[in-house]
């Protein structure tokens, strides 16, 4: 028994290893340049509102296609092909961003990056098929850790390459990462379907998967989490740092300072911390941390405390988001998990759209600081919503 189990275990580890490497390049290709995207667009002559629209376009395309892709994946029972398509879109969008200087075309190719990011639903669901029952929280923590490490490497590489060789070098690094990820994705294998019968596919039921109360509330909380993130860390904090005098390499460090603690927090949130604290309490703490940092941003007037603030915000985001992702499918039947993850990611994609557009408009009308404070207050209110909505589940 032990001898027959060992090869299966080795095969499982090999599958997980390949997918984790693909995951790291998947996110590397998308994060070599968002660090400086708003300052870059400002240099090209875009207003802060238009810059927010470009940043938000990444979330718009995800929101439109993630649920249909999740449903289609459940129907076809093939996640591998969607991951390959996602890496191909990533390569095309990175190449386009490298070649063009027109803001309208940048908007188009940034939106295409969102199409690639939409296939994250298939990476997460494929990775979960490799895991034993009851290990979802730890598995999602591991997967989020790898995705964040890929993002950190991308931000550091993009920042230093842009500082040394110009903006376009960071886009070229994204092209290289996407090309490697695409080649590796061709070697992925699908977990064989289980022998037991499954419920017949129903398009209507898949679209209505959001009626599940836990999935609904975790999705709403994730939306508000991403709204805050894309308004601040992934949106206009780099612009604020640029105003304070940060160069391109320092912008890369700034983003890395937010993502590295996010990676560590996501890794320990679903394993170590979950042993000692209720998941609901951890999620609430995460929202309080990110909300307080957003409110404090207008008070910061030099780079060192700004870097420290992003460590706190990144830690809070890592805790809250990895736990929301693991909770969202907890009450969903196996045959609908792809649809559930598609619903979850489509809903939180709305936050990626609203956050940067809202802060960009507030910055043009009032000031960047006003936008940060409003986002901070909203995030603190979200902490209360999390405490109420998850009271019977976590």
With helix as H, strand as E and coil as C, how does 310-372 read?
A: HHHHHHHHHHHHHHHHHHCCCCCCHHHHHHHHHHHHHHHHHHHHHHHHHHHHHHHHCCHHHHH
Angle between helices 120-129 and 48-76 (to 10 degrees): 40
User: In this structure, is residue 195 part of a structural domain?
Assistant: no
User: In this structure, is residue 319 part of a structural domain?
Assistant: yes
Please tell me what DSSP assigns to residue 47: -
User: In this structure, is residue 255 part of a structural domain?
Assistant: yes
The number of domains in the chain is: 1
Question: For the whole model, what pTM was predicted?
Answer: 0.77
Compute the distance between CA of residue 185 and CA of residue 84 in angstroms, rounded to an integer.
6
User: In this structure, is residue 394 part of a structural domain?
Assistant: no
pLDDT averaged over 10-residue windows placed end to end, the chain, 394 residues = 54 79 94 87 89 87 79 76 94 96 94 90 82 66 82 89 91 96 90 48 58 89 94 88 88 84 74 71 93 96 92 90 83 72 82 89 91 96 94 72
Confidence at residue 1, expressed as pLDDT on a 0 to 100 scale: 45
In the numeric block, the tokens 């390569």 are attached to 91
Compute the distance between CA of residue 245 and CA of residue 25 in angstroms, rounded to an integer.
31
User: In this structure, is residue 76 part of a structural domain?
Assistant: yes
Domain that holds residue 112: 9-187+209-389
Confidence at residue 304, expressed as pLDDT on a 0 to 100 scale: 92
* Residue 58, domain CATH: 1.20.1250.20
CA angle, residues 142, 15, 9, in degrees to nearest 5: 90
Burial class (CB in 10 A: 0-12, 13-18, 19+), 119: buried
Q: Is 56 left (phi over 0), alpha (psi -120 to 50) or beta?
A: alpha
User: In this structure, is residue 204 part of a structural domain?
Assistant: no
Compute the distance between CA of residue 111 and CA of residue 352 in angstroms, rounded to an integer.
12
């Amino acid at each position: 028994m032990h001898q027959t189990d060992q090869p299966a275990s080795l095969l499982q580890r090999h599958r997980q290893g390949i997918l984790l490497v693909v995951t790291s390049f998947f996110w590397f290709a998308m994060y070599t340049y968002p660090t400086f995207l708003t300052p870059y667009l400002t240099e090209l002559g875009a207003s802060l509102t238009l810059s927010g629209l470009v940043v938000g376009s990444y979330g718009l395309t995800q929101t439109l296609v993630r649920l249909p892709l999740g449903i289609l994946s459940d129907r076809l029972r093939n996640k591998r092909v969607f991951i390959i398509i996602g890496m191909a879109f990533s390569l095309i969008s990175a190449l386009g961003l490298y070649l063009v200087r027109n803001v309208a075309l940048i908007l188009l190719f940034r939106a295409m990056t969102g199409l690639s990011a939409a296939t994250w639903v298939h990476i997460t669901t494929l990775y979960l098929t490799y895991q034993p029952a009851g290990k979802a929280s730890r598995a999602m923590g591991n997967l989020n850790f790898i995705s964040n490490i890929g993002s950190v490497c991308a931000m550091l590489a993009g920042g230093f390459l842009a500082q040394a060789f110009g903006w376009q070098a960071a886009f070229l690094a994204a092209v290289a990462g996407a090309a490697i990820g695409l080649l590796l994705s061709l070697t992925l294998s699908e977990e064989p379907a289980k022998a037991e019968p499954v419920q017949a596919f129903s398009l209507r039921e898949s679209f209505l998967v959001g009626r599940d109360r836990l999935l609904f509330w975790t999705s709403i909380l994730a939306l508000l989490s991403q709204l805050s993130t894309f308004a601040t860390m992934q949106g206009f904090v780099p612009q604020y740092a640029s105003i304070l005098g940060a160069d391109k390499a320092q912008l890369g460090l700034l983003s890395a300072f937010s993502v590295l603690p996010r990676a560590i927090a996501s890794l320990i949130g679903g394993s170590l911390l979950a042993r000692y604290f209720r998941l609901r309490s951890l999620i609430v703490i995460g929202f309080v941390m990110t909300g307080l940092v957003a409110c404090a941003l207008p008070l910061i007037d030099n780079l060192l405390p700004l870097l420290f603030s992003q460590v706190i915000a990144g830690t809070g985001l890592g805790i809250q988001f990895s736990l929301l992702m693991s909770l969202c499918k907890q009450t969903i039947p196996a045959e609908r998990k792809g649809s559930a993850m598609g619903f979850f990611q489509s809903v939180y994609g709305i936050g990626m759209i609203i956050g940067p557009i809202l802060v960009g408009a507030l910055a043009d009308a009032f000031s960047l600081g006003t936008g940060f404070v409003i986002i901070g207050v909203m995030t603190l209110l979200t902490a209360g919503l999390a405490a109420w909505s998850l009271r019977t589940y976590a």
